[in-house]
Each structure stands twice: as C-alpha cells, then as structure tokens.
Amino acid sequence: DGGITQSPKYLFRKEGQNVTLSCEQNLNHDAMYWYRQDPGQGLRLIYYSQIVNDFQKGDIAEGYSVSREKKESFPLTVTSAQKNPTAFYLCASSRLSGPTNYGYTFGSGTRLTVV
Amino acid sequence: LAKTTQPISMDSYEGQEVNITCSHNNIATNDYITWYQQFPSQGPRFIIQGYKTKVTNEVASLFIPADRKSSTLSLPRVSLSDTAVYYCLVGERYGGATNKLIFGTGTLLAVQP
C-alpha cells in the first residue's frame, strides 16, 4: 500500500530539547510539506520541498529545521528555539506533474507535547 | 495566493443533503479547487477536485459556476460519520510548491441523529 508514514504518533519533549519528527512516503511524489495545526485552527505551512536537497520556508519556519536527503524522506526537527511547539504536526506530499492528480496526500500526524 | 472563505460551521441531520459553499474571488486561471475532509487527530483526506462545471465521485459532487469565483461541495444523505471539518482550497493542480495550498479554518459539519 502506498502512503505516507509519520512517526511517532505521540511525542513528549522537555523544554530546551530538540526533537525530530519522521515522515516517509512511498508514493514517488516529488514534493513534501510540513504543516502545524493548533486546536480549532487550520493548517499552517512550516517548510516544503520540491526536490532532493532543496527546501523552502513556509509561513511559520522559525524554530524548525528540515532536510531532504532522499526523495522518500522529509524529517522535521523542532528546535529549542520554537517557543510554543505543542501542536499537531502533519506531513504531506504531492506530485508536481503527470496525468493524474489528487492534490495532497497526508500522513496521520504526530502530536507533540512539551512537558 | 487565492484566499477562500467558507462558513465556520454547519449543522445537519442524518439522511439530509449538505451543501457547503466556498468563495474564492481571486482564483487564478490555472488554479484548481480541491476539498478535503479532516477528522480529529487525523490528517486531511482528499474528497474531490475540479476546475469548472460539475464533478461527481462516489462520495460527493462539486459544483463550480462559470466565473469560478465560488464552489459548492455537496454531500448526499449524510451520516453521523460525516461529522468532520471540510476545507476548501485553491491552487495549482498538484499542490505544487510554487503556488502552495493554503488551508483556512474550514467548515465544521456536525451531523445529528
């Protein structure tokens, strides 16, 4: 089955720690994205990548970092500089060309809590 | 980037047809309209996508007038399991990062027995 896998599903972080959220896709999608969702809010874009070894900041990139060393993987690191990291994090991927299109495919999310 | 406006919430009863309208006055020529459904603590799920006129699949219909400045998602005979947040987005067909999709707050549809 093709899809996006996010891990872990739940993550607890102590103040001052960096944590890394995993996102892997086997859809052969070109682009990958990280969104943050706060309770009762829509999704806000953190970072996105169209191609390996290249990525761009989204609307709320401060305190986050990413890498795209492989097409299938787009991990997100929440650094200690992110002052309010408690949120639901969603990874997505999409094609950038081709005969079919179904918009974004999302993972099941990681809920990060600062303790 | 095109901005969308949709109702914050809607109520319905089981078995009814639900229509959720989205306004997107600044839609660009190459933009598609896509609707997603999100349940609590899950990622959004693609429902339907269209460019103009009407699109229908096994779960919903999408109506787009000629000027494309709005669209209406139609859910036939909703059930309790259709209670979710529904997002309307406009952007490049593949969600390409050059015209990345922007999610608003969506419409919370509450289906009552």
pLDDT digits (tens, 9 = 90+) for A70-114: 999 999 999 998 989 999 999 999 887 655 555 788 999 999 999
**Other CB atoms within 10 Å distance of the CB of residue B96:** 18
Question: pLDDT tier at A38 (50, 70, 90 boundaries)?
Answer: very high
List chain B residues with CB under 8 Å of A106.
43-45
- Which pLDDT value is given to residue A36? 96
Name which residue leads in pLDDT, B35 or B92.
B35
Residue in chain B lying closest to A5 (CA): B43
**Interface check A33 vs B, CB under 8 A:** yes
User: Which of B12, B32, B7, B2 shows the shortest CA–CA distance to B87?
Assistant: B7
Q: Which whole number is the average pLDDT over B101-111? A: 87
* Chains A, B: CB pairs < 8 Å: 73
User: Which of B42, B45, B110, B41 shows the shortest CA–CA distance to B81?
Assistant: B110
List chain B residues with CB under 8 Å of A108.
42-43
When the pLDDT of each residue in chain A is averaged and rounded to a whole number, the result is: 90
Residue spans of beta strands (DSSP E) within chain B: 9-13, 18-23, 32-38, 45-50, 53-56, 61-64, 70-75, 84-91, 107-112
Residue in chain B lying closest to A57 (CA): B97
Q: Is the pLDDT at A50 greater than 80, yes or no? A: yes
Contact B44 A43 (CB under 8 A): yes
Token pair recorded at residue A29: 């999608």
Report phi then psi at A8, rounded to 5. Answer: -75, 175
Report phi then psi at B58, rounded to 5. Answer: -75, -15
**Interface check A13 vs B, CB under 8 A:** no
Can you tell me the distance from the alpha carbon of A27 to that of A105, in angstroms, rounded to the nearest whole number?
A: 9
Q: How far is B13 from chain A (nearest CA, A)?
A: 23
List chain A residues with CB under 8 Å of B4.
none
List chain A residues with CB under 8 Å of B57.
none
Give, as one character, the DSSP assignment of residue B38. Answer: E
Rounded CA Rg of chain B:
13
Q: How far is A34 from chain B (nearest CA, A)?
A: 12
**Interface check A16 vs B, CB under 8 A:** no
Q: Give chain B's count of helices (H) and strands (E).
A: 0, 9
- Which pLDDT value is given to residue B92? 65
User: Which of A29, A36, A74, A84 shows the shortest CA–CA distance to A53?
Assistant: A74
Contact B41 A88 (CB under 8 A): yes
Q: Is the omega angle on the peptide bond into residue B7 within 30 degrees of 0, that is, cis?
A: no
Q: Which whole number is the average pLDDT over B22-42? A: 90
Q: Identify whether the C-beta of residue A98 lies closer than 8 Å to the C-beta of residue A11.
A: no
Closest CB to B43: pick one of A31, A40, A106: A106
